[in-house]
């Protein structure tokens, strides 16, 4: 396992923690309160990459996710949690700063918010300022310019973030084709022993995270450990034995695999990154609306589900270690994803849209003594469950909440749970404000009394486009090419999206310059296939929702 920094950082870590000041970067108030904080709850924050709500605990009848389901059985499960943009960098930056994409001014992967928008305080940075040892493993911040090529270290983290050494082979030609040659494919089950370094990135991340948890046993300060798994992000590369969980004949197409007839062209995601994979290129699919052949759609769905089960085993091993180290009784566990992923719904693949399949994410909160009773001595909380165990069955779902919530609210929620001062609400213009939140804390929904969850909330998402019709850069336009912004509202009743003119030079949307709109009634059209925006019967509703977007 690659730990280039580990030998020297291990000494730094032990020395700093012995001094009880968390690497000397705590503010004076936090230093004075350190002895009080040492009894605080820890946080294990787990974030998957491109994971939609295809999990057993979310009612998926196909996906085998026993370890995440076990976590859910002792947690509160938010059934309707939404990302603020269905793209890795903008979503993660929004989540970790508690600011929306229009405030981070990040819609692509080409800028660092501290230099580009404002010196915003992040969730791990705030915890670090308040006496927490903060650690990052894998993909937490989006790597590269988005996080200043350092994962925002040293602002956010007490020690340098860990990235698995094998991630550099992400797009390498390691996928075995039927002719025996190696390719850079979309569908890529592999023999792990044949991979570079004989391992995979998420396996390395689990090993590192467990090593850090073991190190925390002798540490008196509370910790925040963020673990970011790379899968099921493409390429769909995972240990080939997970295919056995999903026989080809049991996999079906999406329930709505056709492009909806009333879908505005600007709303369509032409999945350009999927088209660049060698196995997809070989299909010679016409751009932008040519469908993937049915048999290959089944292969993609099969491999996506297998990759989810692979991640479930990693989560299970991590939670098992937390349990065995007797840390589960004083550690909050949060499990989520940066956004969802289309698996053929609306004729679309990948993310890059405002539909539920792209914006809806799993969000699970385990709070010891709150969402589940403290265990009896010797009782296990999170024993590892193999997905290959024939006895794996349904677990109780835990407490579920149907209320609409947003990832931008995670920052204030954790502050509420940890007993820290909740950042104030941001003013209308907050580029100059370092610490504030544009989200709403949801700790009140962790109460076991379901009557506490009657509030009507809406969730907001957005996505940029370069033009009214699909182009090769429609999925991921760089800032200078953005001409249209799609602002979307999701409530219990509807999904409403309005596509309006956008000026990238001034970072401003013209809400009066309407290019297209979408209105879906969620309860009768949960798949969001019948666009009612131009239906005169719903003109008053469209007018009302348009006004809501302007507030």
Phi-psi region of 323 (alpha: psi -120 to 50; beta: other; left: phi over 0): alpha
To the query of whether residue 142 is one of the catalytic residues in this protein, the response is: yes
Give the C-alpha separation, 319 to 68, whole Å.
9
Give the C-alpha separation, 483 to 279, whole Å.
32
Closest CA to 296 of 334, 257, 263: 257
Give the C-alpha separation, 318 to 205, whole Å.
10
Pick the catalytic residue from 20, 57, 88, 436: 88
Question: Cα-atom radius of gyration of the chain, to the nearest Å?
Answer: 23
To the query of whether residue 183 is one of the catalytic residues in this protein, the response is: no
Give the C-alpha separation, 315 to 308, whole Å.
10
Closest CA to 370 of 403, 418, 405: 418
- Positive or negative CA dihedral for 143, 201, 154, 425? positive
CA 66 → CA 240, 280, 378, 550, distances in Å?
19, 31, 22, 43
Q: Which helix (H) or strand (E) holds 517?
A: strand 508-521
DSSP state of 106: -
Q: Helix H segments across 276-418?
A: 278-281, 294-324, 356-359, 410-418
* Burial bucket for residue 455 (CB in 10 Å: 0-12, 13-18, 19+): exposed
Bridge pairing between strands 42-48 and 182-183: unpaired
Pick the catalytic residue from 19, 57, 116, 142: 142
Residue 11, C-beta contacts closer than 8 angstroms, at least 6 positions apart: none
Residue labelled with tokens 């399949």: 357
**Catalytic residue ranges:** 88, 142
């Amino acid at each position: 396992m690659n730990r280039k920094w580990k030998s020297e950082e291990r000494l730094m870590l032990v020395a700093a923690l012995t001094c009880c000041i968390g690497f000397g970067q705590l503010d004076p108030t936090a230093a004075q309160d350190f002895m009080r904080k040492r009894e605080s709850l820890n946080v294990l924050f787990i974030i998957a990459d491109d994971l939609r709500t295809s999990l057993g605990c979310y009612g998926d009848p196909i996906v085998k996710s026993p370890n995440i389901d076990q976590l859910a059985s002792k947690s509160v499960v938010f059934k309707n949690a939404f990302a603020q943009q269905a793209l890795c960098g903008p979503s993660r930056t929004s989540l970790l700063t508690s600011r929306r994409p229009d405030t981070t001014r990040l819609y692509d992967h080409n800028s660092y918010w501290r230099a580009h928008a404002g010196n915003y305080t992040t969730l791990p940075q705030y915890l670090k300022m308040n006496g927490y040892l903060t650690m990052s493993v894998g993909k937490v911040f989006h790597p590269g310019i988005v996080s200043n090529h350092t994962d925002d270290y040293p602002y956010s983290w007490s020690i340098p973030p860990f990235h698995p050494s094998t991630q550099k082979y992400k797009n390498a030609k390691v996928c075995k084709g039927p002719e025996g040659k190696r390719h850079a494919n979309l569908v890529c089950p592999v023999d792990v022993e044949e991979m570079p370094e004989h391992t995979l990135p998420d396996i390395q991340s689990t090993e590192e995270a467990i090593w850090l948890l073991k190190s925390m046993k002798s540490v008196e300060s509370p910790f925040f450990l963020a673990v970011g798994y790379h899968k099921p992000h493409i390429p769909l590369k995972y240990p080939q034995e997970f295919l056995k969980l999903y026989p080809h004949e049991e996999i079906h197409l999406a329930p709505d695999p056709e492009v909806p007839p009333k879908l505005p062209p600007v709303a369509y995601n032409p999945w350009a990154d999927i088209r660049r994979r060698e196995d997809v290129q070989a299909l010679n699919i016409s751009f932008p609306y040519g469908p993937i052949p049915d048999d290959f759609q089944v292969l993609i769905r099969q491999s996506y589900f297998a990759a989810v089960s692979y991640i479930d085993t990693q989560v299970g091993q991590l939670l098992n270690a937390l349990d065995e180290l007797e840390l589960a009784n004083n550690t909050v566990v949060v499990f989520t994803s940066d956004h969802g992923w289309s698996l053929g719904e609306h004729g679309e693949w990948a993310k890059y849209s405002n539909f539920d399949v792209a914006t809806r994410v799993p969000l699970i909160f385990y709070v010891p003594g709150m969402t589940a009773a403290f265990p009896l001595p010797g009782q296990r909380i999170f024993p590892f469950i193999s997905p290959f165990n024939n006895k794996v069955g349904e677990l109780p779902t835990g407490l579920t909440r149907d209320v609409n919530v947003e990832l931008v609210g995670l920052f204030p929620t954790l502050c509420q749970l940890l007993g820290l001062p909740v950042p104030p609400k941001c003013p209308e213009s907050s580029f100059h404000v370092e610490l504030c939140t544009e989200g709403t804390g949801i700790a009140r929904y962790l109460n076991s009394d379901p009557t506490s969850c009657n509030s009507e909330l809406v969730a907001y998402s957005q996505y940029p486009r370069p033009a009214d019709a699909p182009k090769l850069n429609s999925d991921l336009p760089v800032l200078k090419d953005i001409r249209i912004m799609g602002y979307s509202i999701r409530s219990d009743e509807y999904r409403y999206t309005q596509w309006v003119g956008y000026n990238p030079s001034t970072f401003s949307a013209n809400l009066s310059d309407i290019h297209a709109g979408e209105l879906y009634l969620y309860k009768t059209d949960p798949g969001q296939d019948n666009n009612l925006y131009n239906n005169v019967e719903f003109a008053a509703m469209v007018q009302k929702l348009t006004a809501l977007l302007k507030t």
